[in-house]
Amino acid sequence: MDYSSNNLFVQMGEWLSDPVNWSGPRGIPMRILEHLGYVGLTMLIAMAIAIPLGMFVGHTGRGRVLIVSGLGILRALPTLGMVFLFALLFSRGVLPSVWALVLLAVPPVLSGVYAGISSVNRTVVDAARSMGLTEWQILLRVEVPNGLQVMIGGVRAGILQVVATATVVAYAKADGLGVFLVEGTQINDNGRLFGGAVVIAVLAVAVDGLMALIQKFAIPAGLRATRPGAGSLKESGRQEAVASAQGGTT
């Protein structure tokens, strides 16, 4: 199809409405699946690294300064530059891009998990400890349920960044939605370039909306109950600890 119009929006509309671009192995639906596949693989690796580390630091307070400094360094790394570096050091293909995206995803996930665990009211933790719960039980039954919303917020931020940045995969391996941006730039096809950008933006908004719903309903039912308005803070913490330790039942 010849996109001869000088109007950028017309070119973009023509490209998006062309049935050819919505079918076949190089069509938009297949590229979306490839894109989401890279996002999923990246987030699995990033969460496997960041969640245990964030829980440990948030629960014990050890390594806090080191983690904060390390997160600042990771955030400063250019993702595209890391893709080319990994490709030169190892090989071409998808792995250099995935590891570069992992470096992008780890900071928000780790920050969210650490912040969620460490933000739990210390009175609640002390009350749980006084009830005889072990450190593992305190972490899993008290701190994780109470900090789950913040933790999921970190995962949500990581996913959004990876969805928006996973286009770099196309520079190392011709897959994903980034292909439309690369091809549009190479052949000077503005309809393909900006149409691909719109698809990526819509996908990012849709994924973020789904994560927002998950985050909204992440609090266990027992912890959604109205907090007691009277009595001492310690007694309030004790009741919250009991609700958390019992799996969110009141």
pLDDT of amino acid 207: 95
**All structural domains of the chain with their residue ranges:** 27-245
**CATH architecture of the domain with residue range 27-245:** Orthogonal Bundle (1.10)
- Tally Cβ neighbours within 10 Å of residue 209: 10
- SS3 category, 238: helix
Going by C-alpha positions, the residue among 160, 123, 159, 157 that lies closest to residue 138 is: 123
pLDDT of amino acid 222: 64
All residues at 6 or more sequence positions from 247 whose CB lies less than 8 Å from its CB, including other chains: 141, 220, 222
Whole-model pTM: value is 0.82
The Cα–Cα gap between 165 and 152 comes to 20
Taking the CA atoms of the chain, what radius of gyration do you get in angstroms?
23
Q: Report how far apart, in Å, the C-alpha atoms of 149 and of each of 180, 211, 235 are.
A: 35, 11, 23
pLDDT of amino acid 243: 47
DSSP summary character for residue 49 = H
The count of residues in the chain is: 250
Exposed / middle / buried, residue 99 (Cβ in 10 Å: 0-12, 13-18, 19+): middle
- Tally Cβ neighbours within 10 Å of residue 207: 18
Sign of CA dihedral 21, 24, 29, 30: negative
Q: What is the pLDDT along the chain (250 residues), one digit of tens a residue?
A: 444 445 888 999 999 999 999 998 889 999 999 999 999 999 999 999 999 999 999 998 888 888 877 887 888 888 878 887 887 777 666 788 888 999 999 999 999 999 999 989 889 898 988 998 888 999 998 999 999 989 999 999 999 999 999 988 888 776 889 999 999 998 999 999 999 999 999 999 999 999 999 888 877 666 665 444 434 444 444 444 444 444 444 3
Retrieve residue 156's tokens. 């949500």
